[in-house]
Amino acid sequence: MLEYAQRIRSLPPYLFAQIDQKKREKLAQGVDLIDLGVGDPDLPTPTPIVEAMKRAVEKPEHHRYPSYEGMLSFRQAVADWYKRRFGVELDPALEVVTLIGSKEGIAHFPLAFIDPGDVVLCPDPAYPVYKIGTLFAGGEPYILPLKEENAFLPDFRKVPQDVLKRAKIIWINYPNNPTSATADEAFYRELIDWAREHSIIVASDLAYSEVYFGDKKPMSILQIEGAKEVAIEFHSLSKTFNMTGWRLGMAVGNKNLIAGLGKVKTNVDSGQFQAIQEAGITALKLPEEELHKIRDVYGERRRVMVEALDRVGLEVFKSDATFYLWVKVPKGYSSASFVSMLLDECGIVCTPGNGFGEHGEGYFRISLTVPTSRLLEAVDRIGSLKL
């Protein structure tokens, strides 16, 4: 009898794989699904990026193995973009590594720094890979609840001393998936001071930094003095440039943390296709107007959807970032039961809050990654339920 390894048996089913299975079942039944589940942009990749890729694919030098760390020219483009966007100086040779999408780097990072028995401080609700990467590395996740009364920020000061002694990494993600919450400079300063005091690595996931509305731009943790002593930041071209399928991201920050992640990568992958990295250089050099166009679309969808949900009696957490809405389920429902009802009775796919962790119970997540007309149709279907 063949059995999975314990590390596989200990994993919960991956949330979005479960949702995909349910979607396939409904589509097979002929249901007209409105998919507000996975955060996969429906807008096309900007044309200059696609054209750059076409040219790059024809170059014979890209048909061989890429470098493990990524093309220096791509890493230089990342450093230049961080300088323009955040005012952060990065050494492209030592403080930047190319990723095959940020998910890959997030999953692999604990392998470089976590031994069995070590603790990783994981927010909840959160992107599931923080916890999954910890489990793969043999570490123990310790849950940091994200609660609305605390603006969905973790209270890391309350970690018990016995846990703190074994803690090696803390994960943060702002703008946040799934709650859409943001963090300010005061939060980052307090976190960095605390992490330096306790010799804890801060792993920041900044995938949604460019999906914001209004004049207040989300920060990079690396803008805080002393951050480079303890912090690594994961970023991606996926959400910024509508490139989820391209699988291109980067990690930046403390050179020893980057080197540790790089050592894992040299042993488990052979780097990202260089033609994709060359297209990524074009993406990182696009004029800001291209990003304004993308933000304007999501901003209008957010405005319309929040107003429509309010009309049918659903309460949305107020935010000015990400293309997600974090919505309270009506009284009398759990996250799972309400989302199941939406799928069965309305043909609407949403993500249950408890799929992101136990502290997501009582909420569900809507992705604004379908046209406005379909969003409004979804609200009409929900309104017919007479909640």
CB 138 within 8 A of CB 116: yes
**Domains of the chain, residue spans:** 6-44+289-383, 47-284
Q: What is the spatial distance between Cα 77 and Cα 7, in angstroms, rounded to a whole number?
A: 37
A 10 A CB-CB count for 285 gives 13
Domain 47-284 annotated CATH 3.40.640.10: yes
When the candidates are 3.90.1150.10, 3.40.50.1100, 3.40.50.800, 3.40.50.2000, the CATH number that belongs to 6-44+289-383 is 3.90.1150.10
As a whole number of angstroms, the distance between CA 318 and CA 270 comes to: 42
In 3D space, the residue among 151, 196, 150, 195 whose CA is nearest the CA of residue 171 turns out to be 195
Q: How far apart are CA 294 and CA 361, in angstroms?
A: 31
Give the phi and the psi of residue 326 in degrees, each rounded to 5: -105, 110
CA distances from 148 to 179, 319, 365, 371 (A): 9, 12, 14, 29
Q: Cα separation of 266 and 251, whole Å?
A: 15
> How far apart, in whole angstroms, are the C-alpha atoms of residue 29 and residue 150?
43
The kind and range of the H/E element at 328 are strand 324-328
Q: Token pair of 215, please?
A: 């004049």
CA–CA separation, 314 and 262 (whole Å): 45
Sign, CA dihedral 175-178-180-186, equals negative
CA 21/CA 178 separation, integer angstroms:
21
Output the pTM of the full model: 0.95
Please say whether the beta carbons of 284 and 78 come within 8 A: yes
215 φ/ψ sector (left φ>0, alpha ψ -120 to 50, else beta): alpha
Buried b / exposed e over 325-352, threshold 16 CB at 10 Å, is bbbbbeeebebeebbebbbeebbbbbbb
Tens-binned pLDDT, residue by residue, of the chain (387 aa): 688 888 888 777 766 677 778 888 888 888 899 999 989 999 999 999 999 999 999 999 999 999 989 999 999 999 999 999 999 999 999 999 999 999 999 999 999 999 999 999 999 999 999 999 999 999 999 999 999 999 999 999 999 999 999 999 999 999 999 999 999 999 999 999 999 999 999 999 999 999 999 989 999 999 999 999 999 999 999 999 999 999 999 999 999 999 999 999 999 999 999 999 999 999 999 999 999 999 999 999 999 999 999 999 999 999 999 999 999 999 999 999 999 999 999 999 999 999 999 999 999 999 999 999 999 999 999 999 877
